[in-house]
């Protein structure tokens, strides 16, 4: 480790070593379990990769994660733009509500979604005629994922809109562009990276969800739920094998998308 010339840490080698010592404890807490997971689960990977139930659970997690993140982004970007550009009564309350899913216990989030959207609740009854019910259905999986992951989509998009110099939008208005045109041709392209990051973070959060999904829709089984099921029925090593499969699939997709964005 070297200190960059001109850095304010010049001559503070011992202090840096002390900080590094503390930092390495946290890194160890994070990395060691992952190493165990990969080394033990890796041995079970060939078996797991041939298991149709495991494969369909991973595919469902990734697919439902992408759909829920896209839903959150589609409806979250307009919300983020309003929160970034407009001051109104109750704005802080909405921002607080948006962050609530991040701190709620996951099972509580699931119970809230189930109470609001179950087929006997007023909202659920609205969708029942369309053949949409959330209990033990793909709709339920996606809805639970949206509930827990949409704050990422909204917050990252808002951060993107916040970082835009407002003069860039004002100039476009003065040159003849309507507010809608400015949003589409100036604001969205400038916030695009943040919106994409929010979408990716939203997918990552959705894939990792277990508690809320188990309450709303245990079936069809997503990978996170199946890991828990295998842990109870087949033991730690089988669950580790499935976990590694999910880890690899998520890494390939997320880093692939990130790389595509970097090349843009």
What is the closest distance, in whole angstroms, from the C-beta atom of residue 84 to other proteins in the complex? 16
Task: List interacting residues with other proteins (CB under 8 A).
Answer: 165, 167-168, 170-179, 181, 185-186, 189-190
Q: Which is nearer to other proteins, 125 or 185 (CB)?
A: 185
Backbone region of residue 11 per phi and psi (left: phi > 0; alpha: psi in -120 to 50; beta: other values): left
Q: Which is nearer to other proteins, 4 or 165 (CB)?
A: 165
What distance in Å separates the CA atoms of residue 173 and residue 181, rounded to the nearest whole number? 9
Specify the 3-state DSSP secondary structure of 105.
coil
What is the closest distance, in whole angstroms, from the C-beta atom of residue 79 to other proteins in the complex? 23
Q: Which is nearer to other proteins, 141 or 182 (CB)?
A: 182
**What secondary structure letter does DSSP report for 129?**
G
Name all contacts of 249-256 with Cβ < 8 Å and 24+ positions apart. Answer: 249/58, 249/62, 250/62, 250/204, 250/207, 253/62, 253/203, 254/200, 254/203, 254/204
What is the closest distance, in whole angstroms, from the C-beta atom of residue 261 to other proteins in the complex? 14
Asked if residue 256 lies in contact with residue 196, where contact means CB atoms within 8 angstroms, the answer is no
What is the closest distance, in whole angstroms, from the C-beta atom of residue 260 to other proteins in the complex? 17
Q: Which is nearer to other proteins, 116 or 164 (CB)?
A: 164
What is the closest distance, in whole angstroms, from the C-beta atom of residue 156 to other proteins in the complex? 19
Q: Which is nearer to other proteins, 170 or 234 (CB)?
A: 170
What distance in Å separates the CA atoms of residue 39 and residue 244, rounded to the nearest whole number? 9
H-helix or E-strand containing 133?
Answer: none
Q: Which is nearer to other proteins, 192 or 218 (CB)?
A: 192
What is the closest distance, in whole angstroms, from the C-beta atom of residue 159 to other proteins in the complex? 17
What distance in Å separates the CA atoms of residue 41 and residue 103, rounded to the nearest whole number? 30
Q: Which is nearer to other proteins, 191 or 240 (CB)?
A: 191
What is the closest distance, in whole angstroms, from the C-beta atom of residue 85 to other proteins in the complex? 12
From 74, 244, 223, 80, select the one nearest 155 (Cα to Cα).
80
What distance in Å separates the CA atoms of residue 207 and residue 205, rounded to the nearest whole number? 6
């Amino acid at each position: 480790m070297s200190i960059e010339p001109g850095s304010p840490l010049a001559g503070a080698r011992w202090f840096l070593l002390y900080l590094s010592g503390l930092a390495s404890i946290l890194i160890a807490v994070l990395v060691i379990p992952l190493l165990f997971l990969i080394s033990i689960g890796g041995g079970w990977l060939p078996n797991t990769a041939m298991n149709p139930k495991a494969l369909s659970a991973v595919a469902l997690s990734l697919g439902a994660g992408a759909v829920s993140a896209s839903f959150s982004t589609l409806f979250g970007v307009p919300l983020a733009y309003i929160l970034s550009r407009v001051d109104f009564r109750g704005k802080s309350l909405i921002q607080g509500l948006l962050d609530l899913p991040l701190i709620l216990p996951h099972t509580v989030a699931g119970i809230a979604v189930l109470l609001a959207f179950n087929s006997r609740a007023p909202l659920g009854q609205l969708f029942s005629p369309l053949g949409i019910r959330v209990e033990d259905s793909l709709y339920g999986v996606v809805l639970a994922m949206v509930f827990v992951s949409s704050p990422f989509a909204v917050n990252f998009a808002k951060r993107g809109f916040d970082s835009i110099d407002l003069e860039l939008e004002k100039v476009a208005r003065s040159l003849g562009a309507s507010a809608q045109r400015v949003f589409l041709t100036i604001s969205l392209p400038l916030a695009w990276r943040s919106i994409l990051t929010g979408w990716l973070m939203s997918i990552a959060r959705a894939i990792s969800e277990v508690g809320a999904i188990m309450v709303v829709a245990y079936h069809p089984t997503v990978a996170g739920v199946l890991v828990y099921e295998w842990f109870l029925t087949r033991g730690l090593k089988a669950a580790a094998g499935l976990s590694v499969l999910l880890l690899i699939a998520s890494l390939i997709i997320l880093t692939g998308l990130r790389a595509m964005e970097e090349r843009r």
